Every structure is written in structure tokens, then in C-alpha cells.
Chain A
Amino acid sequence: MAIITFREALRQALDEEMARETGVVVMGEEVAQYDGAYKVTKGLLDKYGPDRVLDTPITELGFTGLAVGAAFAGMRPVVEWMTFQFGLLAIDQLIHNAVKYRSMSGGQFKCPMVVRGPNGPAEYLGGQHSQSFASYFVHVPGFKVVAPSTPYDAKGLLKAAIRDDNPVIFLESEMSYGHKGEVPEEEYLIEIGKADVKREGTDVTLISFSKPVLMCLHAAEELAKEGINAEVVDLRSLVPLDKETVYASVRKTNRAVVVDEAWPKASVGSWIQAEVMKDCFDDLDAAVELVASEDVPMIYNHTVELEIQPTVAKIVAAAKRVLYRA
């Protein structure tokens, strides 16, 4: 298998799906002539032309709403938000239109579109560019929400997202675009709604999604040095949520730690923590722990910003607490 970066995996997915269906168009700020702020869309303009790869003005509400309307009319737009932080300017068009017209019209509309881009903290980006907004979309019925952690998952899930007839929120991370991984030469898709056990273990389940999955894998290695065999479940998809895979793991290990780089209040992490405690109550030997970001705005200083987020040390400590080995 070829070893490629996360951004190349995304690009392959876009390229293959654009070649497959002319209704797939890519739009966003700097996606065409500039090749994308993070170079995900590099080369697509040359290959598919300006009618299908569109540089937009800086007008998130305008072009996101335009994409929703185009999706209603049978196209399959892929919108790139340069960051999900800017997406807040456009969220009205998604919540009030993309996921409402089908219901409000009694099933007459479909909205096959993808909104993708980096979400969550990166490095040195300060208060307005370091936030994870997964819960904003998970909270509202009608979206599918996907958050891959590896190039393999990113490619297979993006292809599935583009073919999906619903609005799919596709969460990436600045820090992940350069990560490398194996991706097969032949075509494949990954079903949205299936979690993946990234590391098998017996003693404690670490549950996460997106970039922090890698941190969980590092934590599992640290725990192994102390004789603790951790299982890592990568949710991959937040809506629909693969409870079956999560619960099967928890029922095996009887202990769980949820890791989410968002704030802890009303978050995806706190939701999963509550679901596991409710549904696996009799199987748990300890209360489920949540390792989240601190409940504070992000700070520019690098030492402090790292400590605001989940760390390998925090995950190791939480795993030990649920094993009563702290």
C-alpha cells in the first residue's frame, strides 16, 4: 500500500468523486487558484476547471447557503471552510436550511452536500482559531458528522460523505494534514456510522475521535510500559454514533476514558461519557472519565495552550484512575 499524507488522501477522494459525477463541485476561499489554504485541493482547478472548482469571496454565509441551494437542486457541492471557526458565520444556513427543508416540506427536499475543513486547536493560533465545534452539529438533528484520524479513514469517509444524500459535516485538523499512513491503490469507501478499534486491549477503553485518537494511541503505549493493556476506539463518525462497537469494548474492559479536545460542558465527550455510563452501568467498574480541554478560552502561549488541551499524560492519569492505580 502507498504511504500518503492526510491531505493527499482527502485530495484523492475529491478527485475520484469529481471524476465520477459532474455534480460534485468544490467551493471555498482559496480552493482554486491558490490550491487551498492547506493544499487539500491542489491541482483540482487544472483538472476540472473553474466551473467545478470555485474560489469564493470571503463570505461564508453566502457561499454555504449557495451550496445548500445547489444541493437542493440535485448537485453535490463540497464546501471547504478554511476553518470551522469561520463557519460560525454560516451556521444559520446549515441549521435553518440544510437540515430543515426536508422536514418542513414533508420530505420533498434532499441536501447532498459536504462541509469540510479544519476544526479544533492547532498551535499558536490564540482564542479565535483554536476551538472545536463538533457539538454544534452533533446537537442538531439532520446532519451526519464525521471526524477521521488517519489518511485511510479520511479518504474512505470523504468519498462516502460526497455520495451521501444528507449534509455531512467533515471535521479535519490543521495538525493532521501532514500525517502519513497507508492507503490502498484500489478504490474503497468507509461506511459512515462505523467506529474502528485502532488498538486492541483488555484493561481499559480509550474512546476518542479526530486528532486526539493519535494521542490515545501514544497513551496506550505509555500504559503498556506499566502493564496496562488499553483498547483504543476511534469513533470516526459522531452521527450516526456506533454505540455497538463502543459498548462491546467497554463490556470487555469494564473501564473507559473519553478524550475530546473540545471544552467539557455540553460537548460530544460529555455526551458519550453519559451514554456509556447509562447504557453500560452494570458493566463498569469505575465511573467513566472525560479528558477534555480546560473550560477556558485558548491562550497563545505555547506551554499554556498545550496544557489547556488533553495530553498523553492526562490520558494516562485518567486511565490509571479508572483502574484505581493512581
Chain B
Amino acid sequence: MSKVQNLEKILDEFGPHLHDAPDEGWLADRVIDRMVPTHCPYCGVQCGINLLVENEKVVGFEPRYDFPVNDGRLCPKGVTAYLQVHHPDRLTHPLIKRNGNFEKASWDEALDLVVAKFKEIQAKYGKNALGVYSGSSLTTEKTYLAGKFARVGLGTKYVDYNGRLCMVSAGAGNYKAFGVDRAANPWSDIPMAEVLIIAGSNCAETFPILNKFLWQQRDNGGRWIIVDPRATATARQGDLHLQLKPGTDVAVANGILNVIIREGLIDNDFIAAHTNDWEAARAAAEKFTPDVASQISGVPAEKIVAAGQLYGRAKTGMIMHARGIEHHSNGVDNVLSYINIVLATGKIGSAGRGYGTITGQGNGQGGREMGQKADQLPGQRSISDPEHRKYICEVWGISEDELPEAGVSVVEMFDKMREGEVKGFISLCNNGMVSLPDVNRIRQSLEGLEFNVNIDFLMSEASRYADVILPGTSWAEDEGVTASAEARVIKINKAIEPIGDSRTDWWILCEIAKRMGRGEFFKFSGPRDIFDEMRVASKGGKADYYGMSYEKIERQNGVMWPCPTEESTGTPRMFEDFKFYLPDGKAKFHPIEYKGPKEVPDEEYPLILTTGRVVYQYLSGNQTRRIGFLVQQCPEPYVEIHPETAAKLGISDGERVKVLSRRGEGVFPALVVSTIRRDTIFIPYHWGEQQAANQLTNPALDPVSKIPEYKACSARIEKIHSRELPILGTARKGTSQSEVQRGK
């Protein structure tokens, strides 16, 4: 049903086209009507920004010096974010696909079709034949609504979110070790740490504003230990760079812990009073002598010793990690092996002593706590816990047998589509055709659907497969809260009314629910109503928002949860009393054995492919691959390869090469750089179709978090002898992808 038949026409009509100037051009003499304080729509730093509005159009920005996290700072995505609001590619009316072409439709026509098809599918195959796939770049109100929409509006158990591709390994590790899923310390603690271990994060490119705190720490005399297979812009400045083989994080972390134990740098009092299971973790780490760790990871043993000494001897220190260690089939193990170091040294719960996950998406934290996750209910409650179910059913006013059981993770949901269990699908705030692993399988899943609905404000690679597209709004046209990577709940403010005939995501979900006959549970007149219900739903949960209000959030420049009462100002730092959220109040060690990535290089595929991001693009690129400035800086993906490896294959810098894995192949220009390991190649993943790095990646999942293994699979590189470019390829220098697509 959902095939893409006329790609050229879709590209022509809906882009990505390049747009690079405010409405009516770069005018110097604008009369600004109002300045709306809000936050950047992109990453988990959620920088403050003022939007400038003239004649009800967002025409520029002004740094927001008053917001304490970024003090006006912005990365290039943030600087150009306002250009997406009036982008000519914006979807401004509902679209129905007829004979392969998207045709304009009225809201009634589109919504009636959606509801008729959903009812038909559920009548024929049962309630669970519908799948809901949501995202964490939405406001928390919308993420709360997405979970409720699936379970109460549609009555299906199949709901999940794109945080599954992002922070679930960290979340699962945090749950296991601390009993709660939140960065333990505010970023303002970073400058007070003598030593930072940053594992698997090129935060210079992926969380640029976080570097403010890193440099404050260094100005205070602090040291950085960076664990990364590439000498990134972050690693370049590290005092110690552990350039490990992708996927060997457990060996490195256990090796560091081994050194700390051997040097007597553990905190015995803390371990005895506030933790469980140390002996098992110690025994596991003892096997990882620096030599053993070095053999597995390829990091010189003396560097592992130095890292253990540097962190272990310091009075204060923080460990932070991101997707580099989490995107693995043993991502949770990787996370737990670093948490073991934190707990063994007792570096937690006070200024400069702490731990944090660098959550990726704008609302990566908020999006994982209000129940859009397959197994979760609002407030970080569990859908399998009878007490939790009972409370939420009371809040929602439904009987307990009406609340579905846990569903499955998103990659598994796409498996269910191919298996014929999920027949109808509605997605918002994601772009699976770029961001899910092994996109060729994802394509099969989407093509096999009986009915596919997509809500977005720009036509993504995945939207092209939809039968109906409902135009949502950009972030500047709605209000709500998000929680940044330090769990700071901040307020997104509305700058202008929705453009054209677009409608807010929450309105669309409520309207579908109403037409499905479930309107009594979705009587919301705006985000504030949803927020109020969500506060109550989170009450008593771990992520307790009950004491928050929009006014308090704005007054305080953010509130960090838990905030259980009206008097509470929130909780910037967790575990100050060393009380953890596990049943006996103690944190838990986990003995971690090294398993390594699912695919190991062999003769056929001798290289390790790892994927990641560039500073100019955000996630699947649906927003940023349309902004002229950003595309000019990085028009297309490339493959980083070490000069020695390139020489062996006879590949020169800039040459287009074919990269193959067991799942697919793509053509990329070679960027020959000595900043990568000899056994590793790297491709940024923000692009789709023939340039999707995710044609190659391995959909192997972590058994606990169900995160896919984006960061390590086996691959090989072949020379191509033809000069022909892939269909969506580009001439390299400065030419944009979309210009080539439009045949210019």
C-alpha cells in the first residue's frame, strides 16, 4: 500500500530544498514586534534563545544571555534554527496519497480516512494491529499524550519512541544501578570536578554548548580523559585519549577499575555503607589487568593505568557518557561498567563528584519518563507493576483491563510489521528511513503496511511511505515543556500561530482519539491542560513533576525533578544523602564480563564500521538538511579511513568508494585522516536513501535496552571504477544534495 512510486516528484514538491534567509530576505531595517524567549529545538542542552517576530513571522534570533545554561551561546544549528519555521518545504495542509501522488485534502477528509482505516484494521485483526511510533524531540506534554493516545485512544499495546535509538541503554543501566533514570548531577558541577572521564561522546560536535562547562573545568585546572575510537575535536583536547576499538568499552572500563582497585583507590566506607554486590564486580574487574584490557581494546596499557590513577587519585571527578558506549548490543553492560567505577570510588552525590548520561535529543530526558515507552507509564512507572497500573488507570479514568500490557521496542515493532501482526501505523517526530538500523528491512516493513499515517511538519524520508500525512507545527508554533540532559525541565514558548493549515501535534492526536470514540479521555484545550494531568499522573513516581507549574519553570529558569510539592524548587543534584532508589536504598554493582560486538571483522568484512554525527546536522537531518548554511558546511556523508588502510586499498583522499556490509552498500567519498584507528571506518548517519549509513548497520539489539548496535559492525571498502554518482549523490564541493536532486 505504502510504496514510494514517484520519488522525483515528491522531491520536487517537498524537498529537501535549501532555504537560507529569513522571510523577505536579509533586511537590515526590520521593526521587531516582539522577542519571544524560548529554547532551541535541537539537542539535549536545550539552549535558551529569543525568537524575533515581525508581522507574525519569525525573522531572526537574539542570544538569550539570561538563561544560565548557555548564557547566549548557540551552535550553528541553533543559530539557523529559526530558518526552518517559514521554510518553503513546510507541510501546510493534510495530504492523502492517491496513485502514488500526495494530494491536498481537508482535515475532515484526512482524519475521517485515518479513523475509518484504523477502525477497519482493528475490527479485522484486533486492537494490537495498530502501532504508534513517537519521538523525544516533542514536548513532554506530547510524549505523555502519545502514550495515552496509543493505550487509551487506540487501545493498542504497540507504542514506542525513538529514544529507543538514543538513551535507553543509559536509562536501563541507571535503573539497574541507581533505581532511577536521570543524570545525577547538574552541569554546573562539571567545573568543580578535577577529572572528567567522557566515554563515547564527541560532545564538541554533538552537544557543543556542553563544552562551556568542560572549558570552565579546564580553566580551573581540570583534566579530561576521553574514550573514543576517533581523535575527535573533543579527544584532541583530552589530557588522555583512550582510542579504543569500537565496542570494547567494557574492557577499558573494567581495566580502569582494575587499576583503581590495585592502587587502593577505592572508597571502602562508601562501598560498605551505600552499595550492594561489590565483591562480584571486583572479582569481574580483577581479570581485566591493564594488559588484558589493552589486548582487547587496543588502548596501550600505560594509558589505562594513567586513566585509573588520574581519576582514582582525584578528590573530585565526574564520568559522563553518550551514544558511543550505549549504541551496542551490550550497551547496558558498557554503561554499568562505568557506573561501577563511580560507585567504587564513591564519587557521587556532591559538588564535582558525579555521573551523567549526555542525553541526545532535545527532550531525551522528558521523553523517556512520561509513558511513551513500550513498557512504561507516566512518572517512570512500570506498565507491569500492578500498583503503578492501578494509579494511572485512576488518573485516566479507565478500568484496569482496558490498559494494555507492555508492547515491544521499535525495532521489534518493525519486525511485527513484516510478520503481519502490525497492519496500521501512525508515527510522529521520527524518520525511521534514516535513523533505524538496516533501513532496507525498515523499507520492507513500511511497504507491507495496510495503512500508514505520518505526522510531521516537513516531508521526511519515512513520510514518503505514508498514505496520509497530517501537517504538524514547528516548535515555534506551540508551547510546552522539555527536560534537558541534566533533567532541567524548561518551557518552550509559542512565538506565532501555526502556519497555513498546519495544526499542533497534540490537537491532531486528540482529534483522532475523539473520532475513534474516545473523546472523553482527551478533553484538552491546550498544552497547559495536558501538563496539569501529566503532573498528577507523575505524582509519587520517580520522575515526579507534581510540584511544577509553567510559572515556576520560567521563574526559576528551569526545575529539575523530582519536584513533588508546590514548595519544592526541584532537585538539581541527586543522591546527596546517598539514598538510592532501589528497594534497600543502596546502589548496586554489577559484575560485567566482556562480550564485544555481535559482528567480528573477518576476511570478507575486515573493517569495523562505526557511525555518528556531525555538528551541522541534527539526528535524521529532516530539519537540518534543508538549511542552506548547514548543508554548505556538510553537504553529504563521507567515510573516514586511516591513511595506511586507504593506501592498502589504493584509495586516495576524496575518491568515491563503495562501503559494504552484510546488509547493504552505499557510495561515499573517502576522507583519509589519521584521526581514526587503522581497523575502523566512520560514516555520519544523517542522510537517507543511497547515502544512508544505516543501510549498513547491524540491527542486533541489546537484550535489556533493545538499543540497536549502530556503533560497531563489520564492513569492507571497495574501489569503484565508474565515475557515475549515486542517484542522490552530489558533486562534492559546495553543491547541495537537493540542488542535484532538482537537476540544477
State whether these chains interact: no
Interface of A toward B, CB cutoff 8 Å: none
